[in-house]
A = this chain, B = another copy of it.
Amino acid sequence: MANKVYNFSAGPSVLPEQALKEASAACIDFENSGISILSMSHRSKPIENMFAQTEQYLRELMGIPEDYDIVFLGGGCSLLFCMLPMNFLDQNATADYALTGVWANKAYKEAKQFGNALAACDTKSETYSRIDKNLKLSDNATYLHVTANNTIYGTEWHNFPKPKSGFLMADVSSDFLARKINVSDFGVVYGGAQKNISCAGVTVTIIKKGLLGKVNRTIPTMLNFQTHIDAANMFNTPPVFAVYVMNRTLKWLKDFGGVDAIEKVNRSKAALLYSALDNSKVFVGTAAKEDRSIMNVPFVFNKDVVAADKADDLAKEFLEFAKARGLQQLKGHRSVGGFRASIYNAMPVEGVQALVDCLGDFEKKVLG
């Protein structure tokens, strides 16, 4: 391949090169043990230490207080969508869900099975292109659920809402450690790791102590967060390698200067790209400006410039044009169409600059 590849995939997605190299090496020999990390017993000292260190990195980087537990689980974030209400929402209790995108809706759908889940807002009719901050909140909700960053629609909660009662629960899958959040403002913070903090195969759930154990139902052992807290994430065989990739990614972030440092870079990468879109005659961002995500940037052709019947062919042309420069995975999600650039922590400024240049050059080509 002639060009350096920049991978704008929404997830699994770009990871730090250093972490990839360390993961690759550990597949052959983990910490000079002579044994691959893929073959190491999860109950061996080196792996137990690696888990403890990963948790420590997370605590430091996110500023997770002592009175929060951290659970690493396989199964994907979608599994947490049912586990969370199963563990926290009693059959007659109420939870408010802010419906700001597909993932919020999927979480909401699972919660309805376990209790009285209510929509606090719903911008579906606007293709979730903005976040409705005017929430209808229940008087005695157990929790309020938000999707911190809406991966598909490219919107994010810049300021998190305050629950009227109960605690705040946030799915941070697509902005895990991308910006500072105050963990103490939340009862539960959770997400899949496969965007900002690891490869696919592991999720992280951060739970304030004292919130579990209050529902009146029998929870299968593996679906009970308490099982994993009591066993220090070693109740059964955990996804060791995905946790190691997280460990190396967090180490990279620590060396980078932590969340403050990466947030600054993330904001400048996002500003660079949004400004290019705002100045472009051919491309236009789809998300409401005030809710723009710094991680996922969906954009489409400007309808005034590209006629509807030409858009599909031109979209293919643009994706080829970008791919020839090493810019990959820019196709938009089917529910928004067009294009999406995911510019997670590990996407270097150079990648965003290359995309901005590509947008400009394609515009010249189109406008002639």
- Contact B75 A222, beta carbon cutoff 8 Å: yes
Q: What copy number does this chain have within its complex?
A: 2
How many angstroms between the C-alpha atoms of A73 and B73 in the bound complex?
Answer: 12
- Stretch of A21-29, A115-123, A281-289 lying at the B interface: A21-29
- Which residue of B is nearest A221, CB measured? B110
- Contact B242 A241, beta carbon cutoff 8 Å: yes
A25 partner, pick from B7, B10, B14, B24, beta carbons under 8 A: B24
Chain B residues closer than 8 Å to A21, beta-carbon distance: 27-28
Question: Is A161's beta carbon under 8 Å from chain B?
Answer: no
- Contact B38 A20, beta carbon cutoff 8 Å: yes
| Max count, chain B CB within 10 A of own CB: residue among A39, A192, A235, A238 | A39
- Contact A12 B39, beta carbon cutoff 8 Å: yes
Q: Classify chain A's interface size.
A: 35 or more
Interface residues in A1-22 by Cβ distance below 8 A to B read: 1, 5, 7, 9-15, 20-21
- Contact B38 A199, beta carbon cutoff 8 Å: yes
A39 partner, pick from B9, B81, B220, beta carbons under 8 A: B9
Contacts A24-B25, A236-B77, A236-B78 given; indicate if A199 touches B15 (C-beta within 8 A): no
How many angstroms between the C-alpha atoms of A241 and B21 in the bound complex?
Answer: 15
Closest CB pairs A-B (n = 7): A74-B74, A82-B220, A75-B75, A38-B199, A5-B34, A24-B27, A201-B239
Binding site for B on A (CB under 8 A): 1, 5, 7, 9-15, 20-21, 23-25, 27-28, 32-42, 44, 73-79, 81-82, 86, 106, 109-110, 113, 192, 194, 198-202, 218, 220-223, 235-242, 245, 326, 328-329
